[in-house]
Amino acid sequence: DRRRNAPAAGSPIQPIIKDVGEVYSRLLDHRPVIQGEIRYFVKEFEEKRGLRELRVLENLKNMIFETNERVLPKCEQAMQDNLNETFQRLQAANAMIHRLQEREYEARKLQADKVMAREEKCIAHWEEFMKEQQNKRAEVDEEHRKAMERLKQQYSEMEKELAKYVSF
């Protein structure tokens, strides 16, 4: 746009435009200064830091390689050994618990059998007791009946004797 609107080369305004352009570029156009500062910063950054990032990455790569090649297999082997030992211990504990459960079951079954035997014995004893009570009751009833008969007979005799004395 400046070239189209720019006056002819021989015009008296030409030096003024040139001065205004210089003032503008010095006061308002900061691109060259910023680019210079950026170049300076990059130069300082690269000189001071050097190849530190590259060394850090190389160290990380070596550490990862060592971990993958040496530490990880050792950890896997230790884990496998411990898992096998733990599995064997768990199996042994499981077997012991199973035996304890069987013993407890047998003890409970034996206890239940004893209780059932006691209950049956008690029931048999109760039935015998009730039969005995029935027999005793029958004996008592028979004695009572006989006593009633004797008393009836005695009272009837007494009535007869009393009837002899009433006739006077």
pLDDT of residue 160: 86
24 found inside a domain: no
Domains of the chain: total: 1
Cβ-contact 48, 37 below 8 angstroms? no
pLDDT in tens, the chain (168 residues): 444 455 555 677 888 888 888 877 777 777 777 888 888 887 777 776 666 777 778 888 899 898 889 888 888 888 888 888 899 999 999 999 999 999 999 999 999 999 999 999 999 999 999 999 999 999 999 999 999 999 999 999 988 888 887 665
Q: Is residue 36 part of a domain?
A: no
Range of the domain at 163: 50-167
Considering the domain boundaries, does residue 157 fall inside one? yes
* Predicted local distance difference test score (pLDDT) of residue 71: 87
Please answer whether residues 18 and 24 qualify as being in contact, where contact means their C-beta atoms are separated by less than 8 angstroms: no
Around Cβ 14, how many Cβ atoms within 10 Å? 13
Does residue 14 lie within any of the structural domains? Answer: no
The answer to whether residue 106 sits within a structural domain is yes
pLDDT for 37:
84
Q: Give the pTM.
A: 0.38
| Residue 167 pLDDT | 62
- Give the whole-angstrom CA distance, residue 59 versus residue 105: 64
Position 106 scores a pLDDT of: 95
Domain-embedded: residue 81: yes
Task: Return left, alpha or beta for 11; rule: phi > 0 is left, psi -120 to 50 is alpha, else beta.
Answer: beta
User: Is residue 138 assigned to a domain?
Assistant: yes
The confidence score (pLDDT) of residue 2 equals 46
Confirm whether 61 is domain-assigned. yes
